[in-house]
Amino acid sequence: MTTEPAEFHERSPHLFRLMAFATGLATLILGILSAYWLARDILPLFGRLLRDAPIVVTPYLAFMLIAMCTVTPIVVVTSLHACWRAQKFDPSPQSRMFRFQRNSYKLTVWSMIFISPALAVLVTLGLWAKGYTPCQKLLISGSAWRVYWVNDARYCFKPDFYNSDEQPCKHVGNRTLCTEGGRQ
């Protein structure tokens, strides 16, 4: 037996609009940051792989940011609709917006389950095919999802510090040597 409250309080349209706006804004910010991190972490990976860099850093967790980039447009659109009309986004099944919503969510699920893992596996296979091997000595403490790959055993060493590009550096005498021509 359920009991109903004595008074039924209707949802405030202003609060609903505020929450929809906050959700859309937060999702837009996360989507932009995800795209930035993908461009900063994943795209240079392919450049280093193509030019046979001595050390290639593979941030495996960053591949999952693809899903955030695919879900951002639909969440922003639905949030704007909710903010503008003060009602939930519920398009009819025959409309283009319904197909856009369905396809966006399908693409997000596909990117989480298939695209991101497949891309990470392909990058790993590409590294192995080019003669790279993982180097445990180069790991930064707490970076379990980031793997350093080297194509020459001489580059697998315990670094003294890392430069701003996260490339390992070593003090040799009175000189500081960094891989990839990084900043000192």
Two tokens at 49? 């792989």
Q: For residue range 76-111, what is the model confidence (pLDDT) as tens digits?
A: 999 999 999 888 888 899 999 999 999 999 999 999
Identify the residue whose tokens are 């040597």: 177
Q: For residue range 31-75, what is the model confidence (pLDDT) as tens digits?
A: 999 999 999 988 888 888 888 888 888 989 899 999 999 999 999
Q: Is residue 84 included in any domain, yes or no?
A: yes
Q: How many helices (H) and strands (E) does the chain have?
A: 5, 6
Q: Is residue 53 included in any domain, yes or no?
A: yes
Longest dimension (CA), the chain: 81
Q: Is residue 92 included in any domain, yes or no?
A: yes
| Cα–Cα dist 38/62, whole Å | 7
Instruction: Answer with the residue of higher pLDDT: 38 or 146.
Output: 38
Number of independent structural domains in the chain: 1
Place 167 in a pLDDT band, splitting at 50, 70 and 90: confident
What domain range includes position 145? 13-153
| pTM (predicted TM-score) | 0.76
Q: Is residue 57 included in any domain, yes or no?
A: yes
> What share of the chain has pLDDT > 90, as a percent?
47
| Confidence at residue 183, expressed as pLDDT on a 0 to 100 scale | 31
